[in-house]
Amino acid sequence: MSISKITIAVDGYAACGKSTLAKSLAKSLDYIYVDSGAMYRAVTLYFLDNNIDINNSLHVEQAIKNIKIHFKNINNNNYTFLNNVNVEDNIRTPQVSDFVSPVATISIVRKAMVRLQQLMGAQGGIVMDGRDIGTVVFKNAELKLFLTASLEERTRRRMLEWELKGIKNITAREVSSNLQKRDHIDSTREDSPLRKANDAIEIDNSDMTPEEQLAFSLDIVENVLRKTKINS
């Protein structure tokens, strides 16, 4: 008997390898991968490009109605589309990174994104990474992972990521301060703050390679699948 595909939630602080893990888990399991942070980044890009005042809820509400987000997999790479334009590179700039956490505190924005995320995962067989996936979006996910890593390691990884994209005029101190600022806003906001779900498994990957973290997580998935099969 084949069992239905499960839902996997991956949450954690900024730049702690959530997307790397979620992407490789989805690939190994042949599941859909959704980067929920990319959705908040796309909204932020729209707000910046259209000078939306985030303190004006009428403007925010109208803007949200004008935003369409979808993902496309091209040659095994995942691309984010905002109103049918590929914005994958534009949503990863330091400018968007600086502004995204305040945008993600807005309830009107969160409500729209969560609805879309739940639609995307309605059939199961999905790995989604973010901040509130295990606590809000997929409260009943069969597997919830909560990633952590030291601030030094997260800063090093994000610097490397930006260097590879040709962004070099930014110091380690600036990157580290952006990560801390975002973590603070993300975990202290009123609407669905970042926190570990009670039933999530915490993984500190500071000293793990991406391959080690994947192997470790696949073992956990296998256990969950075995249990799901027994109980189904």
Judged by the rule CB under 6 A, the positions of this chain that interact with ligand DC are: 14, 36-37, 40-41, 100-101, 104, 130-133, 182, 186
**Closest CB 129 distance from ligand DC, rounded Å:** 7
Q: Which is nearer to ligand DC, 131 or 214 (CB)?
A: 131
Q: Which is nearer to ligand DC, 131 or 144 (CB)?
A: 131
Q: Which is nearer to ligand DC, 153 or 225 (CB)?
A: 153
Q: Which is nearer to ligand DC, 102 or 225 (CB)?
A: 102
Alpha carbons 177 and 173: distance in angstroms, whole number: 6
Give DSSP secondary structure letters for 134-190: IIIITTT-SEEEEEE--HHHHHHHHHHHHHHTT--S--HHHHHHHHHHHHHHHHH-S
**Closest CB 1 distance from ligand DC, rounded Å:** 34
For 71-82, letters b (16+ CB in 10 Å) and e give beeeeeebebbb
Answer whether 78's CB lies under 8 Å from 33's CB: yes
**Closest CB 85 distance from ligand DC, rounded Å:** 18
* Stretch (H or E) spanning 110: helix 107-120
Alpha carbons 142 and 149: distance in angstroms, whole number: 23
Alpha carbons 61 and 59: distance in angstroms, whole number: 5
**Closest CB 100 distance from ligand DC, rounded Å:** 4
Q: Which is nearer to ligand DC, 78 or 228 (CB)?
A: 78
**Closest CB 226 distance from ligand DC, rounded Å:** 28
